[in-house]
Amino acid sequence: MIKPFKIIATRDDNGQGTGVVYSIEKIRRVDNKTIRETLEAYACVPYSEDIDEHILKIIKESNFL
Amino acid sequence: MSNGFLATNNNGQILISSDTRNLHLISKLSSPTEIVYSTADYGGIRILRYRVSNCSATPVPFFTMPSTSDYYGVTRITSVNSSTWDIEVIKSGSASSYPEVYIFADPRASTATDAYGLKVFRDDGTPSFDSRLKPLAITGGTFVSHPSNPKSSFSGSLSSQYCGSSGSTYFAPNNYNTYGVTITPSKPMFSFSSLAQAEREATWSSSQEECDGVPDGYGGCAGFKRVYTWTSTYWAFYRGAIKRGTNQIFAGWCTAAFGCRWTYQKDSSFIGIGTGGDSGSGGTWPYSNETLNLSSATVIIGDASRYD
């Protein structure tokens, strides 16, 4: 999987999942301006789920990309 | 105990003892003394203050839950003076019907006026039970703990510039644990002190590079250019609370506080020679995306109609 995000830190979230701090960046060009946008957020990923796929799902739902 | 008084039920459970103090009704507070804070955002927040007077011992509050859609919890009990206390109750949702709060304390906190009844004393001569003061009768209870994450999934997109969005939808809590419990009274009242706390935050940043010169063909700028950078960190604090069902208790979250902090920076340069400044940051905040005090909390259920 090519990940469009970066995992900054992980830790155990009170035994209920993996706490993940992630960031994602997008760059677009409008007229003569370069616009770079970044989101840094937290998610508690259940142990049973793949961290990358879970974060990607959240990002898709957020309409950030 | 060689001397004293002990009353037990058929299961051997203690009902009255001269060794331990029973709780007795001190006061019923039908409405809050003050609505400290109110908003319909962030899942709805009502912070209510109830003041009880003539209570010379530490109060134990019970509250009704008039709505089965909202979460409730006692978040603070503070002493105003030797016989006056403030009880802070938090409530989610937007319903304007507020809990009734029943204040109980040991019998030293109040004086009965009826001439007849049963009064039990400890060996130090202070009362442990007084039938004239409406002793507390417990009808049920359970232990609850809260899910670590106040919201099952935080998703959405907020403005990076000057905290220009409301985080209301993004941060509104929706996660809970369910506990089956028999709630027999037609007008149940609950004792629950909020213990769990959580904080969640999200940062949106954006930078914009404006070129007044000519593109250098490599994605850069030959001539004057300016770089604007905006950052907005949105955050919310949560307190653990409970919601009632027909025969369930739901352990979920109320938003207790929220806010946002923004930064703005502008840098300029001319053919690669910076005419602006520099900045940096690092380290960690003391409390960031954390959930605390998730240990089991007690919910005690009583029949409020006995004390109306």
> Out of A33, A37, A41, whose CB is closest to B160?
A37
When pLDDT is averaged across residues A21-42 and rounded to a whole number, the result is 87
* Sequence-ordered list of residues with C-beta below 8 angstroms from that of B205, at least 6 positions apart, any chain: A37, A38, A39, A40, B160, B229, B230, B231, B232
- β-strands B60-63, B24-29 pairing: unpaired
CB of B91 within 8 A of CB of B243?
no
Please measure the distance between the N-terminal and C-terminal CA atoms of chain B and give it in whole angstroms.
36
CA distances from A56 to A2, A13, A65 (A): 10, 19, 10
Cross-chain residue pair A32–B210, CB shorter than 8 Å: yes
Residue B60's H or E segment, with its range, is strand B60-63
Cross-chain residue pair A62–B157, CB shorter than 8 Å: yes
Cross-chain residue pair A37–B210, CB shorter than 8 Å: no
The whole-chain average pLDDT of chain B stands at: 90
CB of A38 within 8 A of CB of A6?
no
Q: For residue range B165-178, what is the model confidence (pLDDT) as tens digits?
A: 999 999 999 999 99
Cross-chain residue pair A61–B153, CB shorter than 8 Å: yes
E-strand spans in B150-247? 177-180, 188-191, 197-211, 214-215, 221-222, 224-244
- Nearest CA to B224 out of B270, B273, B276, B274 is that of B270
How many Cβ atoms are within 10 Å of B275's Cβ, its own excluded?
10
Secondary structure class of B301 (helix, strand, coil): strand
CB pairs under 8 A between A and B: 75
pLDDT of B208 over the 90 cut: no
Sole residue written with tokens 């806010």 = B259
Sole residue written with tokens 């644990």 = B177
- Which of B135-139, B215-219, B279-283: highest mean pLDDT? B135-139
The domain locations on chain B are 6-142+301-307, 149-177+199-283
Q: Which residue of A has its CA nearest to B201?
A: A41
CB of B99 within 8 A of CB of B91?
yes
User: How confident is residue B278, by pLDDT bands cut at 50, 70 and 90?
Assistant: low
pLDDT at B212: 75
Q: For residue range A38-58, what is the model confidence (pLDDT) as tens digits?
A: 999 999 999 999 999 999 988
Cross-chain residue pair A38–B206, CB shorter than 8 Å: yes
B183/B6 Cα distance (integer angstroms): 28
pLDDT at B276: 56
Q: What ipTM goes with this model?
A: 0.86
Query: Which of chain A's residues have a Cβ under 8 Å away from the Cβ of B204?
Result: 37-39
Domain that holds residue A10: 5-62
CA distances from B243 to A49, B74, B183, B250 (A): 29, 13, 13, 5
Which tokens hold the place of B293?
A: 């005090």
B80/B103 Cα distance (integer angstroms): 15
- Nearest CA to B167 out of B67, B238, B96 is that of B238
pLDDT at B286: 77
- Could you tell me the pTM of the whole model? 0.88
Query: Which of chain A's residues have a Cβ under 8 Å away from the Cβ of B209?
Result: 33-36
pLDDT of B218 over the 80 cut: no
CB of B234 within 8 A of CB of B163?
yes
Shortest Cα distance from A34 to chain B (angstroms)? 5
Query: Which of chain A's residues have a Cβ under 8 Å away from the Cβ of B174?
Result: none
CA distances from A32 to A65, B97, B108, B220, B286 (A): 21, 56, 78, 10, 41
Number of domains in chain A: 1
pLDDT at A64: 76
CB of B71 within 8 A of CB of B93?
yes
User: How confident is residue B213, by pLDDT bands cut at 50, 70 and 90?
Assistant: confident
When pLDDT is averaged across residues B192-215 and rounded to a whole number, the result is 89
DSSP B42: T
User: How confident is residue B277, by pLDDT bands cut at 50, 70 and 90?
Assistant: low
Q: For residue range B38-91, what is the model confidence (pLDDT) as tens digits?
A: 999 999 999 999 999 999 999 999 999 999 999 999 999 999 999 999 999 999
